[in-house]
Amino acid sequence: MPELPEVETSVQAIQEFTNQNLESIKIHNPNLRWKVDIATFKKLHGLKVSKINRRAKYILLHIEQSQILVHLGMTGTLRIAEKNSNFYKKHDHVEFIFQNRKLIFNDPRRFGSMHHIKEPGTHFLLENLGPEPLSQEFNGEYLFHKIKKSISPIKNALMNQQNVVGIGNIYANEILFDASIRPTRKSKTLKKKEYEEIASSTKKILKRAIKAGGTTLQDFYQPDGNKGYFKIDLNVYDRENQKCKKCKEELIKRIVQSQRATFYCRQCQI
C-alpha cells in the first residue's frame, strides 16, 4: 500500500492541475471499494480545481465548496497523460480531463476509493484522524501524553491513524530503527525522551522518503510513470538475516506483529 511519502509524492506531481478547469470526468468502471457515484461526479464538469493537497494517505482535489477525495488503497496509482491520448491500461477506472492533459486513476485490486465530499472534517474516512506527522502539533510531548498509558506495542501505536496519520508498516519499521527502539515494546514502558526520539525520527525518515520520491515497493508508481527511489535507503525493512547497517554485526530479525512483518536489530534496538 502506498504510504504517506508516496501519496505526498503523488500530490506534488499533480500540482500542474491546480487552478485548471475540470472539463469532464470519465468513469470507466465505478466498482472500487465503494462504488463511485457517477451522477454526482457528472455535476463537477467545468468546475475549477483550486487546490490539491493531502490529508493522511488521502488526496484531496478542492473544487469550489467541495472536494474529491481519492484513496489509492493497496494498488491504486495516478498517472498523467496527454488529453487526446487513447492509450488505455487495464484497470483504468477514472479519468479527470483538463484543458491539455488528463489524470488517470488505475487500481487493479480495487481497494482504492473515490468520493465527492462537502465536509472533510465529518467524512467517515477523515473525522477520527490524528495529527499529521510533519506538523508542529506532532512532537514528543504530544506522543507521550497520547499513548503513555497504552499497552499496545509501540509499532502498532505508531500505525494507529488516531494517534498520528500516514505511518504505515514500512516506515514504522524504519522510524523505530532510527530511534533505536524495539518495535515490540509496550508504549507505556517508553520514557518521555524516547518519545521525543520517535517524533524526531519520524520527521527525518518521512522527509527523506518524500525527497527521494517514495519507495519502489509493491505497486507504487509516481504519476509520471517512474518508480520511487527510496528503497535503496531502507535500513531494516525486508532485510531479514542481513547484517545491521548500524552495528555491522547483528542480523536483522523478522517477526510478525498484528499480521504484519516487523524487522529490527536485536542489538541496536532496545
57 is catalytic: yes
* Active-site entry in 54, 57, 79, 155: 57
For residue 27, the surrounding DSSP H or E stretch is strand 24-27
3 is catalytic: yes
Question: Which amino acids are annotated catalytic?
Answer: 2-3, 57, 260
